[in-house]
Amino acid sequence: MKRIGLFLLTNIAILLVLGIVLHVLGVDRMLDESGVGLNYADLLVFAAIFGFGGSFISLAMSKWMAKRMTGAQVITTPRNPAETWLVATVKNQATRAGISMPEVAVFDSAAPNAFATGMSRNNALVAVSTGLLRTMNQDEVEAVLAHEVSHVANGDMVTLALIQGVVNTFVIFISRAVGHFVDRVILKNEGGHGIGFFITTIVAQIVFGILASMIVLYFSRQREFWADAGGAKLAGREKMISALEKLKKSLQEPLPDQMAAFGINGKPAGHGLKMLFMSHPPLNNRIATLKGQATR
């Protein structure tokens, strides 16, 4: 259920690498109009191409990176009744949700967790932890799987990639504009862009990238509520509520930071500004929302 942590680090890393490569190749000079000012129209096009490019590179790599970071083992041929049930349950839910059968995997973790990722609704991965299989009963695991399948059916990975692309575009555009201002106005550099532009752009890109991640994380939190509702529809509301209640009682061992936005069980609820950097709403809020929907 966590689609975003991967984007936060991967996108920033991709954008930084692209920025360094483009500087080395001299692309900056192509955007430098007559050596004195930026061509903002060209810069916006440049920012959009590389902003969306970075986001969709991250999306395309998401399944591969998820497997590498969690050690998830895809079930190709079920080896026991539990794996047979997992594959059959996901297949049934995928059919009902109108999507192609995702890959089903298990990763070794003592904490109950699960995630879904992939480039599209018809090219996805659903994985559960060994801890989740040990601590939850079959109804609760079914609800967790339904939640993850709902993420896939809702197209959350692509939606968040598009949002990230828009955010990346503005981060690239604004950071380069700030770099240009520092280079020309503060450092009084009248020739081609100097080291001041390069360093300022990199620093601004990191700062604005962190601030912009709050926008992406906001949408991630909203889509968790939608996936809970989808999970309740596929598996049953009481099963979904029971699964979330079980997660509240578990000792939380979060996924790697790069995968934090991909699991069903987010980090412990924060307060104040910490809430802005959470990929998941507090479990209490999610449970209350499901119970509220049941009374409507």
Separation of alpha carbons 56 and 54, rounded Å: 6
Q: Exposure string (b/e) for 36-72, b if CB count within 10 Å is 16 or more?
A: eebeeeebeebbbebbbebbbbbbebbbebbbebbeb
Reported as type and span, the H/E element at residue 106 is: strand 103-107
Mean residue pLDDT of the chain comes to: 82
Active site residue 245: no
Q: For position 189, what pLDDT does the model report?
A: 72
Tell me the per-residue pLDDT of 1-58, one tens digit each, with 9 for 90 and over: 344 454 455 555 655 665 565 556 555 555 554 444 566 777 778 888 888 888 888 8
Catalytic-role residue among 103, 140, 148, 224: 148
**How is residue 36 written in tokens?**
């004195």
pLDDT of residue 1: 38
Q: What are phi and psi of 137, to 5 degrees?
A: -80, 175
According to DSSP, the β-strands at 103-107 and 37-38 are unpaired
For residue 35, what pLDDT is reported?
A: 45
- The C-alpha R_g of the chain, in whole angstroms, comes to 22
| Nearest alpha-carbon partner for 286 in 218, 228, 220, 235 | 228
Predicted confidence (pLDDT) per residue in 193-221, tens digit:
778 888 888 899 889 888 888 888 999 89
